[in-house]
Amino acid sequence: MGSIAGMLNFDREKRVDEHIIKRMSSVMKHRGSDYEGLYINNNLGFGVNCLYLSDNVQQPVYNEDKSICVVVDGEIWNYIDVKELVVKKGHDVFTNSSAEIIAHLYEEFGEDCVVKLEGAFAFALWDNKQKKLLLARDHAGQKPLYYLLDDKKIVFGSELKSILECDGIVPEVSMEALDVFLTYSYIPSHYCILKGIKKLEAGCFLVCSNGKTAVSEYWDFRYGAPEQSESYCAEHLYELIKKSVQTRLSRVQNVPFGAFLSGGTDSSTIVGMLSTILDRPLKTFVVGFKEEAFCEFPYARIVAEHFGTEHHEVEVTTAMALSMLPDFVWHYDEPFADFSAIPTYYGSKITREYVKAVFTGDAPDQLLGGSGHHLKEQIRRKHLPIPDFLRTTIIAALVHNIPLDIVDKNNLDRIKKLIKMEAYPLEREYGIRGAYFTEDVKHELYMNDLRKSQEIACALKVSEGFFRKTTAKDALDKIF
């Protein structure tokens, strides 16, 4: 973990203020407490905070003639392969820093260097010969990167608060982003809670040169692989997980590390894989509550005992949860309503007392079809195979007067709501089903001026956009 921040003035005669870059970087010191670096080159400035895991190299890092400067937040998991590639191209690699191999890779492939990287990263690169700034974010968007662009400059940072450290920036809430938040309980990557500030989206890079800026997508998840047998897929998945764990282990093995363990499929799989690779007990951590319905202690204990881990349990009380809310708001920058962030916060805080890096398991529910959306679609296919043209005509007419915000007081209400959902095509129904506040309810909440605002559009278009973008043909695959 770490952070990056920076500024590029389009007027080459306007030198970047070093004190501003320091402020932008210092406000994110919590992301990397081992080292703070700075790079000022006339109208360009970088700041970086480092948390040493695979190396103790001080950033920024340069190529051989120092014409290219790189700062990076994160790790390149295929570091060994990329290092071999640049060495064959004639480059000298003096460290095991992710930043150094990015510099050399850029020398060989330019902006396309990002295509050859695998990892969790956000980096900034300055090409002093071409006077070009390159920002890039990893394939899945694990590392954040915000930026503000106007006619005089571009400013960027790993966190929103970093950009607000710049002089002359007055924060103003984006009502469009707030509207989307009330629907989905988070703000998707192509929105930001503050006007004028954007997120560089996952799998994208930004190039800024001669006052012109362009964002390009270098990767997106694509369907199209031929169907294989279940046994083949299971074996192939196992090998992919094993390789994934091994590559990450190679980058953190020089520091104390552990793993989160909830007892679910995702974390249990990672813990199991690590336990088969390591020759010593793995440190595992679980966060629980006094309320049994929300406590994962029993499940985590079963897995911990099975693999013989050095297990630690952290119980979070209501008082603890309430006391951390100010810190929570400060760290997240944008509205976020997933209560799982509370145990994650305390888990990370306690874990840091024992280890410096921690393995987690994310997204198996989506990857393996384990969420309620997947189950519901499978049930509908089997028991209620209604063609789309019937949904949008006959059923839509029958349920027109049933409100979407109906309260589930009894089974009849739930049946009404279920039938109402069947009136929509999948891409809209998916958004409605996951909505915290429906369009009708938000309309009642908003004042007249906001209802008429041009900023407010139908938030359901967000989920519809995701469905349109996917290359999947099958409805169940689209949900994945």
Q: Which DSSP letter does residue 281 get?
A: P
Which pLDDT value is given to residue 141?
A: 94
Q: Which amino acid is at 235?
A: E
CB burial class (10 A; 0-12, 13-18, 19+) of residue 23? middle
Average pLDDT over residues 324-331: 88
What is the per-residue pLDDT across 256-290, written as a single tens digit (0 to 9) for each? Answer: 999 999 888 889 999 999 999 999 999 999 988 88
Percent of the chain whose predicted confidence (pLDDT) is above 70: 87
Identify whether the C-beta of residue 160 lies closer than 8 Å to the C-beta of residue 171. no
Which pLDDT value is given to residue 407?
A: 47
**pLDDT of 233 strictly over 50:** yes
Percent of the chain whose predicted confidence (pLDDT) is above 90: 53
Average pLDDT over residues 142-169: 96
Nearest to 263 by CA among 306, 315, 317, 292: 306
- Overall pTM surpassing 0.85 (yes/no): yes
Query: Rounded to an integer, what distance in angstroms lies between the CA atom of residue 463 and that of residue 154?
Result: 30
Tokens standing for residue 463: 């989920």
Band of pLDDT at residue 404, cut at 50, 70 and 90: low
Which pLDDT value is given to residue 128?
A: 97
Identify whether the C-beta of residue 309 lies closer than 8 Å to the C-beta of residue 295. no
What is the per-residue pLDDT across 208-228, written as a single tens digit (0 to 9) for each? Answer: 999 899 999 999 987 766 678
What is the per-residue pLDDT across 93-124, written as a single tens digit (0 to 9) for each? Answer: 988 888 999 999 999 999 999 999 999 999 99
3-state secondary structure of 207: strand
Identify whether the C-beta of residue 361 lies closer than 8 Å to the C-beta of residue 285. no
Quote the crossing angle between the two packed helices 325-332 and 341-351, to the nearest 10°: 90
SS (H, E, C) 188-245: CCCCCCECCEEECCCCEEEEEECCEEEEEECCCCCCCCCCCCHHHHHHHHHHHHHHHH
**pLDDT of 255 strictly over 60:** yes
Average pLDDT over residues 417-438: 72
What's the longest Cα–Cα distance across the chain?
73
Band of pLDDT at residue 12, cut at 50, 70 and 90: very high
Identify whether the C-beta of residue 325 lies closer than 8 Å to the C-beta of residue 314. no
The structure tokens 């290219």 sit at 68
CB burial class (10 A; 0-12, 13-18, 19+) of residue 256? exposed
Query: Rounded to an integer, what distance in angstroms lies between the CA atom of residue 370 and that of residue 120?
Result: 24
3-state secondary structure of 253: coil
Nearest to 79 by CA among 112, 114, 119, 113: 119
Average pLDDT over residues 68-90: 94
- Alpha helices per DSSP H over 4-159: 18-26, 79-88, 98-109
Nearest to 147 by CA among 139, 135, 156: 156
Nearest to 187 by CA among 137, 144, 216: 144
Which pLDDT value is given to residue 430?
A: 75
Measured from the Cβ of residue 101, the count of other Cβ atoms closer than 10 Å reads 30
Tokens standing for residue 461: 């278009």
